[in-house]
A and B are shown apart, each in its own frame.
Chain A
Amino acid sequence: MSETPLLVIKNLHASVDGKPILRGLDLTVNRGEIHALMGPNGSGKSTLSNVICGHPNYEVTEGEIHFMGQNITEMEPDERAKLGIFLAFQYPTSIPGVTLANFLLASVKAIRGADNVKLLPFRKELVAQMQELGINQDFAKRYVNEGFSGGEKKRCEILQMAMLKPALAILDETDSGLDIDALRIVSEGVNRLTTPEMGVLVITHYQRLLNHIKPHKVHVLVHGRIVQSGGPEIALQLEENGYDELLKAHGLEPAGV
């Protein structure tokens, strides 16, 4: 009776420039679940999101990533995106000369298949989603992320999520650089877009985002491994006590911030 989990990560080891970052990470995300992954700076949070999406700078040295029952460890980033994996970037890059509208059209065509996308309905959908997220219509004509403020970039990431309708959304520190209002708008967007068929992995340093996006499960990542998993209460404990105790318990130096 058990359904195939959406995402299964087994004993994942990954390194960048030969330096090991992830050291045996296990994680399972089922449909309808929101997972939060927390951890101090340098623990490997962003590495995990990049590795799940296939960034070429990261090398998987051991372990496997399965998505909807399929081993995706060696897949190209676009193949993973087409299967339904979406990453809301921590630092969305700018693409000079490419307007947001053209970028989204190319992207939606790639994900849904060019034959399934008609221009007029696409435009209507785009306008509606921009309105929902409080993004000025003029942004469609602007170059992707060029000259956007931090908050505008993050909203545009959620706009992309809205247009691409992924099965798994990974939000990589989507709260960083956001003021309270922007945080609310972005969180509302995520909550509105999250369906019972979807899985969500929220990566964050702070607990505050989890006041808006309620996770079912919280994991703590330290030194490339998940050292603690449980319910939302874990996030509150961390907020209270910080990461220092956890770091010490694993024989690591506190961050000293």
Chain B
Amino acid sequence: MSATLQIPVQVQGLESPKHKGAFERLSSLTFPTYRDEVWRRTDPENVKPEGQAVVAPKSSFGMLKGEAVPAGVTLEAIEKGQEFIFSVAPVAKTNLFDALNGSVYQGGAFLKVGKDVSTGEQALFVHHHFEGKGMAAPRSYLEVGAGSSVTLVEYFTSDDPEMLAIPSVEVDVKAGAKFRYVFVNLWNNTARVVPTVHAKVEKDAHFEMLFAGFGTKLTKAFFESDLIGEGAKSELLGIVLGQGRQHYDMDAQQNHRVGKTVSDVLCHVALTDRARSVFAGNILCEPGAQQIDGYQQNRNLLLSDKARADSMPRLEIEANDVRCTHGASFATYDRDQKFYLQARGLTAYEAEHLLVTGFFAAVVERMDHEAVGEWLAEKLEAKMQAALGKTK
């Protein structure tokens, strides 16, 4: 089997130096195999591009509840922000899918927020919808200026049942800023998706990302945060509901580049039918990066005998004044909880529904954003009816 990725897709564009740089990087990489540690539980052959044409999305930009985008916020198609690409992570360090995305990307979001801007209780949103056959490779660059406090929901939908999608997102949270970012997988239930989200968090800044995995047949996600200034905090929240034979593999990498930084990963996964999940988290503390707090928690709710979850939280610590905790739990419905709810009149289905809702609400409420919470609850409800309805 050839490990080198033969010119994988019909490469369009390549007009800018950024595209070319990404393409050079791509050409230097070999396509992964299941022998690579990060691909042990997801066969990369299942997400190998096969020369599909890249399809551009129809994207809409605005506020979640229809208000005007506040002054100081630029939110539009990525084409306007090409100069910023590969500024969060140098192209020389990108993974193959990110380099491929950088070579061929079509569509995506460009967010640039000035200093001291707040979206308050409102939230920005971006919706990318992909019609027609091919490969989706949207790229987003999101920058939140110093002292600003911004919430953005970015979500993806698609029609093509065969779609392969490789979205990439770069996030730059400037000093003292707070950025809540909700990244929602609402792709077609048979799509295969390899998202990469890479964030850089400056001094006293707070990046709070929530990944909601509701769609796709297969997701292999790479989430990485670099904490580069003292007082920086990276929170990664995850809610995943898998049904059928859906497969979710998430890689959460938190890099403490300097001391006095905090990372906190909380991922709740509920699986029915034969769904499968993998959570691999790693907290890296660089030499000399002292007074670090790092937390990782992965809870799995297995709603059928055939569902399977794996959890591999890891620590890589090269400093000595570090407080890191990690943990994983696996459970099925708690019989006593279910009986308690049934004894209050809820049917078995209603009880299970409420328990799963609560399981996810405990994560979503960490974001403490009502508009986002309501929006997510609505999306989750539709997915839950599909996932749990059958067992009614």
Contact = CB atoms under 8 A, between A and B. Distances in A.
B59 interface: no
B355 interface: yes
Interface residues of A, number: 30
Interface in A50-78: 53-57, 76-78
B359 A78 contact: no
A56 B335 contact: yes
Contacts of B357: 97-98
B347 interface: yes
A14 to B, nearest CB: 15
A143 B358 contact: yes
B322 interface: no
Contacts of B34: none
Interface string B258-269: 000000000000
Contacts of A82: 345
Contacts of B355: 95, 98
Interface residues of B, number: 25
Given A96-B358, A96-B359, A110-B350, A78 B345 contact: yes
B342 interface: yes
Interface string A80-107: 1110001101001111111000110011
B344 interface: yes
A106 B354 contact: yes
Contacts of B71: none
Contacts of A96: 358-359, 362
A164 interface: yes
A93 B359 contact: no
23 contacts: A53-B339, A54-B342, A54-B343, A56-B335, A76-B347, A78-B342, A78-B343, A78-B344, A78-B345, A82-B345, A94-B337, A97-B358, A97-B360, A97-B361, A98-B354, A98-B357, A98-B361, A106-B341, A106-B346, A107-B341, A107-B346, A110-B350, A164-B345
Given A78-B345, A78-B347, 8 more contacts: A80-B343, A92-B340, A95-B355, A102-B354, A103-B341, A111-B345, A143-B358, A164-B344
